[in-house]
Copies of this chain bind each other. A is one copy, B any other.
Amino acid sequence: MREEGDVQAITVSSFTMAEYFSSEWDDITVAFPVNILEIDMINRISSKISKLNILVENTEAVSYLEDNLQNPVGVWVKIDCGYGRTGIPATDFSRIQSVLDGLKVSRWMKFCGFLVHSGHTYGCTTKEEILEIHQETRDLLLDLKQRHMTDFPDLQLSIGDTPSCSILEASEFQGFDEMRPGNYVFYDVEQSCIGSCHGDDIAVAVACPIVAKHPQRGELILYGGGVHFSKDRVNFSGHDSSGGTLFGRVVKRQSPNSLEWGETIEGMYLKSLSQEHGKVVVPSTVWDDYQIGDLLFVLPVHSCMTADVLKHKGYLTTEGKDLSRMAC
């Protein structure tokens, strides 16, 4: 759902999402190396919105697209500044040049600039570590811009990792044109462990019915498993007894019927997940507060995956408005 505001463009992670949002947004970047087998969907979306932006990182995709695109698209060249997942290594100048050579003569593809996701900041736990990665990313990208700005005077730089975008000072982003911190919308337990946010910045919770109570073990069983949360986990080194591997943290509801929540409950957390089950450790002090059929609110470890799985029954605001049933 699009709200009024200054944001004119969005980034998504699949063409399926881009198509979903294409009825309300006119400038959409799919931040995943283009899958050329989806050419029909690319042509469909680019016939509908004025600015579909895709990512390339090899000449094979550039050649295929040149032969098969039917409408203009924007193209970001994906660069790897040390994360080691996708992108051309930032110092592999010849490979970058060969991709740019293809784009320069293209009928359909307009080169936008260099795009990076320095996801190795997700492994950091201090601001200093995040800053170090960010500065290395910045230096590599500014060098690339310098090298190619004669040929492409409008080329832009786009970064995307949520930790850097969340906690570094504005001065660290000089020279960049775009930020795409996807996890910024909701945050989650993982980002709070990294230090990108505080626990009370987390803006999404999963409401899970309690289906079983096991007093001998001090555990509740939820209808809320891997198909609802994903199986992302985090090693939580909090100051309370929730330390260790966990899959979600339980929060206090404001009142029994409220959709709003408050702080996390010390020592109460999602200990393990099966396909449909979630196992929650419960401190004895709050054991009697939870009954069969109550809804427990759980902050997810990875909100992107949790929000993207389709097994939830609805998607409510804290005022009870059902966003899942609205047109996008």
A residues contacting B by CB (< 8 A) are 13-14, 32-37, 57-58, 60-61, 64, 84-86, 89, 119, 209, 211-213, 216-217, 221, 223, 226-227, 230-232, 274-277, 279, 291-293, 295, 304-305, 308-311
Contacts and interface: CB of A to CB of B under 8 A. Distances in A.
A275 to B, nearest CB: 6
Complex copy number for this chain:
2
Contacts of A58: 212-213, 292
A35 B232 contact: no
Given A13-B275, A35-B211, A60-B292, 9 more contacts: A13-B276, A33-B212, A64-B292, A85-B277, A89-B216, A119-B274, A231-B231, A231-B305, A275-B305
A274 B32 CA distance: 11
A86 B221 contact: yes
A119 B275 CA distance: 12
Contacts of A85: 221, 274, 277, 279
12 contacts: A32-B211, A33-B212, A84-B217, A85-B274, A85-B277, A86-B211, A89-B216, A226-B231, A227-B305, A227-B308, A231-B231, A275-B304
A301 B309 CA distance: 19
A57 B212 contact: yes
Contacts of A213: 58
B209 A35 contact: yes
A57 B217 CA distance: 15
A119 B97 CA distance: 54
A293 B223 CA distance: 39
A33 B86 contact: no
Contacts of A277: 32, 85-86
B211 A34 contact: yes
A12 B227 CA distance: 14
Contact of A35 (B32, B223, B275): B223
A221 B33 CA distance: 9
A293 B36 contact: yes
A211 B58 CA distance: 9
Contacts of A311: 310
A38 B100 CA distance: 56
Nearest to A64: B293
Contacts of A230: 226-227, 230-231
A311 B212 CA distance: 30
A36 to B, nearest CB: 5
A119 to B, nearest CB: 8
Nearest to A221: B86
A209 B276 contact: no
A217 B83 CA distance: 12
* Among A64, A85, A216: residue with most chain B CB under 10 A: A85
A279 B58 CA distance: 16
Contacts of A292: 36, 58, 60-61, 64
A295 B274 CA distance: 30
